[in-house]
Amino acid sequence: MDWGAIFGNAAVELISPTTAAYALAALGLAIHFGFTGLLNFGQAGFMLLGAYGYAIPAIHLGWPFWACVLTALVASVIFALILGIPTLRLRADYLAIVTIAAAEVLRLIFTTNEFDAVTGSASGLSNYQGDLLALNPFPAGRYGFGPFVFDNRVWFFLLLAWIVLALAAVFTWLIMRSPWGRVVKGIREDEDAVRALGKNVYSYKIQSLILGGALGTLAGIVFVLPRAVVPSYFQPSLTFFIYAILLLGGAATILGPIVGSIVFWVLLSFFSGFISRAVEAGWLPFMTQVQAGQLRFILVGVAIMLIVVFMPQGILGNRKELAFVK
Amino acid sequence: MSSEITSSRPVKSIGLHVGDAAPGVKKVDPILIADGVKRTFGGLTAVDVDHVEIPRGAITALIGPNGAGKTTFFNLLTGFDKPDTGSWSFDGRSLAHVPAYRVARMGLIRTFQLTKSLALLSVMENMKLGAKNQVGENLFRSLIPAIWRKQDTEIEVKAMDLLTRFKLDAKKDDYAASMSGGQRKLLEMARALMSDPTLVMLDEPMAGVNPALKQSLLDHILGLKAEGMTVLFVEHDMHMVRHIADWVIVMAEGRVVAEGDPHTVMEDPAVIDAYLGAHHDIDLGADSEHVEALKELIDDEQ
């Protein structure tokens, strides 16, 4: 068995742009769920809007990258308002129902053949990175060290992804340590109490939904930059992977989503590499290669359950909090 | 139980009303006026108050048997619920269609029957949240600590002051969740004071509080009056009502059935009817045993 390749592939996930993208989406969910207590089950929808909001104007209108990013963010704000205005006055679970449904509606709209000319339907869109690549400071070629050998394009997107993630983490840290953060954390604990203290709870919840959604949207852009965009990326399972990352790292933390994403992807890559090679080597005679590919997701499910049962505060969460969880 | 809480006689405010004490009597200086406030839940009329005025600068108790509509009336007055009809005003400003958070900003702060401490926030953060007009609560300004740091320090000093008064200063860095039920009641009251309210509405401040802590809560409520605040509270503990209330409003079946100073009102036949039924001729509140019996009766209704 090629242990070097298994560990090498796992190590690549430490710094891959995908890891950063998932961390960014999880950071958005931390704002929603960890800090404000909003149950958003539609983070995949926000990511989809980021991906297509960037790709469509880039391909069809030839807009520069910053205009594409803005388009994506505007779309995400509108999406957040549509979801939030009717549901945030209601109990928390209504938002969960509406967001999961709305994210699916979006995915199906982008999958249907009706809008093929714009969305590329199920086969998606590609080659929208043009003017961004023109800014690539890395000279052409493949370089790196150890397992981290990529071409200049991957290095560029990798750098970009981690810079965006770092900025988002600093931003989240700044707002959460401020009086604004105090209000949203109060809302998480008991929104009526916060209302009785003269805070406009509804407005804070909308702001939180927009902010976390915007991070999800940026995550969507970062996620699809190194690849082509297809709607099947944005299945509801994506949202649940991001929840797994969030819970793994610690829901009400800034670095938790980042650590969670790294651990998640490294383990996922290690498991899938190990299982597929174990099947190849005949160690698991009852299993085919196709089944092995699915097994890693079963392991993710088991991992989520184990986290919630045995380490509900996550890797970076505050253990003290748990003493009081009802 | 009465012996522990009657340590000193508080000074009662008198001469609050104009004319005879009757339901809906006019007050010399009302702070809160409600007119024709009605709230129904399906076929049930929870609150149907024709006219009631709350006197300024005094401690008013709102009493009545369970299901009398006291908490619903509280919710209506503070914007947490909307009445079917009626108008009500605070300090001369109408409160109809004013959302709860705006009502609070006007200086009408309430607490809840089931204590709402913010469990996973520290005691200090709970307190700081109570302060009004914080610049750092704006999303954009929150990004630059230099804008809100100074105000935040001032708020912290004020919070520390209040916590010391309520003897919670040693717990300032603990999670509110780690406190006892009575301490949470104290915290909720202290937090309400962070916004310098003019009217404090307490929903059953004594429920589930032990006698020692009760005494300190009573002193704090009297302290609010001494500082010029108006207090309106819902309470089942008749001793407390008699001890500190300047004025008592009795509700039954959604209506105000009696008003007056605590001693007279508790002898009012309408009040005895409301609590014990029309044919029950117990002298209400004559001694502590009867009050205990009364409380047990009320508990049985729950």
Indicate whether A260 belongs to any domain: no
Q: Which domains does chain B have, with CATH numbers?
A: 2-117+196-301 (3.40.50.300), 121-178 (no CATH)
Q: Please choose, from the candidates B82, B18, B27, B15, the residue with its C-alpha nearest in 3D space to the C-alpha of residue B52.
A: B27
B118–A195 CB contact, under 8 Å? no
**Amino acid making up residue B140:** F
Confidence at residue A310, expressed as pLDDT on a 0 to 100 scale:
84
Q: Mapping DSSP to helix (H, G, I), strand (E, B) and coil, where does residue B167 land? A: coil
Q: What is the average pLDDT across B124-131?
A: 95
Confidence at residue B3, expressed as pLDDT on a 0 to 100 scale:
39
Contact (CB, 8 A) for B236 and B295: yes
Q: Is the dihedral of CA B114, B120, B124, B126 positive or negative?
A: negative
Residues in chain A closer than 8 A to B192 (CB atoms): 196-197
**Amino acid making up residue A6:** I
Q: How far apart are CA A318 and CA A256, in angstroms?
A: 11
Q: Which H/E stretch holds residue B260?
A: strand B255-260
- Quote the distance between the C-alpha of residue A222 and its chain's center: 10
Radius of gyration of chain A (CA): 20
**Amino acid making up residue B163:** L
Indicate whether A264 belongs to any domain: no
Dump pLDDT digits (tens) for B49-91.
Answer: 999 999 999 999 999 888 889 999 999 999 999 999 999 999 9
Confidence at residue B5, expressed as pLDDT on a 0 to 100 scale:
43
B125–A179 CB contact, under 8 Å? no
The percentage of chain B sitting over the pLDDT mark of 90, rounded to a whole number, equals 53
B121–A189 CB contact, under 8 Å? yes
**C-alpha dihedral (B221, B223, B226, B230), degrees to nearest 10:** -30
Number of H helices, E strands in chain B: 12, 12
Q: How many CA atoms lie within 13 A of B118 on its CB side?
A: 31
Q: Does B90 touch chain A (CB under 8 A)?
A: no
Dump pLDDT digits (tens) for A272-322.
Answer: 888 888 888 888 888 888 888 888 778 878 877 887 788 888 888 877 776
How would residue B212 be classed by pLDDT, with cut points 50, 70 and 90? Answer: confident
Q: Please choose, from the candidates B234, B239, B283, the residue with its C-alpha nearest in 3D space to the C-alpha of residue B73.
A: B234
Find the domain containing A77 and state its range. Answer: 17-252
Dump pLDDT digits (tens) for A230-274.
Answer: 999 999 999 999 999 999 899 889 999 999 999 999 988 888 888
Q: How far apart are CA A159 and CA A237, in angstroms?
A: 27
B284, pLDDT greater than 60: no
Strand B59-63 and strand B17-18: the pairing is: unpaired
Instruction: Take residue B177 and report the two structure tokens written for it.
Output: 């969740």
Tell me the range of A90-99, B14-23, B96-105 where mean pLDDT is highest.
B96-105
A194–B152 CB contact, under 8 Å? no
Dump pLDDT digits (tens) for A180-218.
Answer: 999 999 999 999 999 999 999 999 999 999 999 999 999
Closest CB to B125 among A182, A196, A200: A182
Strand B26-27 and strand B17-18: the pairing is: antiparallel
Residues in chain B closer than 8 A to A195 (CB atoms): 80, 100-101, 104
Give the distance from residue A83's alpha carbon to the nearest chain B alpha carbon, in angstroms. Answer: 20
Strand A148-151 and strand B199-203: the pairing is: unpaired
How would residue A219 be classed by pLDDT, with cut points 50, 70 and 90? Answer: very high
* Residue of chain B minimizing CA distance to A208: B139
| Total domains in the fold of chain A | 1
Indicate whether A271 belongs to any domain: no
- Quote the distance between the C-alpha of residue B30 and its chain's center: 16
* Residue of chain A minimizing CA distance to B189: A197
Q: How many CA atoms lie within 13 A of A69 on its CB side?
A: 13
Put simply, the chain B residues between 118 and 147 with a CB less than 8 A from any chain A CB are 118-121, 125-126, 128-130, 132, 134-139, 142-143, 145
Q: How far apart are CA B11 and CA A324, in angstroms?
A: 42
Indicate whether A266 belongs to any domain: no
Confidence at residue A143, expressed as pLDDT on a 0 to 100 scale:
87
The dihedrals phi and psi of B285, each to the nearest 5 degrees, come to 70, 20
Q: Does B175 touch chain A (CB under 8 A)?
A: yes
Q: Please choose, from the candidates B146, B217, B162, B150, the residue with its C-alpha nearest in 3D space to the C-alpha of residue B195.
A: B162
Closest CB to B178 among A180, A192, A324: A324
* Distance in angstroms between the alpha carbons of the first and the last residue of chain B: 22
Put simply, the chain B residues between 100 and 119 with a CB less than 8 A from any chain A CB are 100-102, 104-105, 109-112, 116-119
Instruction: Take residue B229 and report the two structure tokens written for it.
Output: 């605040």
Instruction: Take residue A307 and report the two structure tokens written for it.
Output: 């986290």
Which residues have CB under 8 Å from A310's CB, separation 6+? Answer: none
Q: Which H/E stretch holds residue A145?
A: strand A142-145
Contact (CB, 8 A) for B97 and B79: no
